[in-house]
């Protein structure tokens, strides 16, 4: 394993259920509770249920925490992230793990994305994992995407509820279920997951 930006022993975490190892730098965003992250990724993939012929859009994909496990299912995955450094890390992790069928793009998901080719694509499913501000600005892309399944992972139940309400009221989705994971025990911070479908 080569050094990552001059670090002789790169930091890394694993998702053993998907035979994946992710390298990262101390300045990169990751989910720091490794055990809960493994459970969260497995649950999100279970809810998303990607098939071998599916095309999945992973928004706010970071360094590929969900993108690469989805691709392990055989689906083709398009990951989009606002931080170009994380996009580069995601590409490196896909190569290091020999994961095919993925592509990554850098884009400000809080801005106008309508003219990007990836935003004009048709998708079978969407995974969202936005920061605390939520993902209101990118919801029209999901609405036009033909996606029938959405899994929304959130660290802020308030913006999750707002965005789920928009997906239901404006884009024809139905909320199938929701739950929480105690990412940081003894604090008020939780991770929420919502699962939506439309016909």
147 close to 172: Cβ distance less than 8 angstroms: no
Give the Å distances, CA to CA, from 187 to 10, 50, 183, 191, 194.
29, 33, 9, 12, 21
Catalytic, out of 155, 160, 164, 194: 155
The answer to whether 18 and 38 have CB atoms below 8 angstroms apart is no
Would you call 199 helix, strand, or coil by DSSP?
coil
155 is a catalytic site residue: yes
Q: Phi first, then psi: give them for residue 87, nearest 5 degrees.
A: -60, -45
CA distance 101 to 10: 25
Upper half-sphere CA count for residue 100 (Cβ side, 13 Å): 2
What is the spatial distance between Cα 123 and Cα 120, in angstroms, rounded to a whole number? 10
The number of beta carbons lying within 10 Å of the beta carbon of residue 94 is: 23
Q: Where does residue 95 rank: exposed (0-12), middle (13-18), buried (19+ CB within 10 A)? A: exposed
Active site residues: 155
């Amino acid at each position: 394993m080569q050094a990552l930006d001059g670090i002789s022993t790169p930091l890394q975490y694993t998702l053993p259920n998907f035979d994946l190892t992710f390298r990262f730098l101390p300045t990169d965003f990751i989910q720091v509770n490794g055990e809960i992250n493994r459970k969260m990724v497995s649950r999100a993939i279970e809810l998303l249920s990607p098939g071998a012929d599916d095309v999945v859009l992973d928004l706010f994909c970071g360094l590929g925490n969900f993108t690469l496990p989805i691709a392990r299912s055989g689906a083709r995955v398009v990951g989009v992230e606002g931080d170009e450094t994380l996009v580069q890390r995601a590409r490196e992790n896909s190569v290091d793990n020999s994961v095919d069928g993925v592509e990554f793009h850098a884009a400000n998901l809080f801005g106008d994305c309508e003219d990007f080719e990836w935003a004009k694509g048709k998708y079978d499913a969407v995974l969202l994992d936005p920061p605390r501000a939520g993902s209101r600005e990118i919801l029209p892309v999901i609405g036009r995407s033909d996606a029938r399944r959405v899994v929304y992972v959130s660290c802020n139940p308030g913006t999750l509820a707002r965005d789920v309400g928009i997906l239901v009221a404006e884009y024809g989705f139905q909320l199938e279920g929701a739950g929480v994971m105690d990412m940081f025990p003894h604090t008020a911070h939780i991770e929420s997951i919502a699962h939506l479908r439309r016909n």
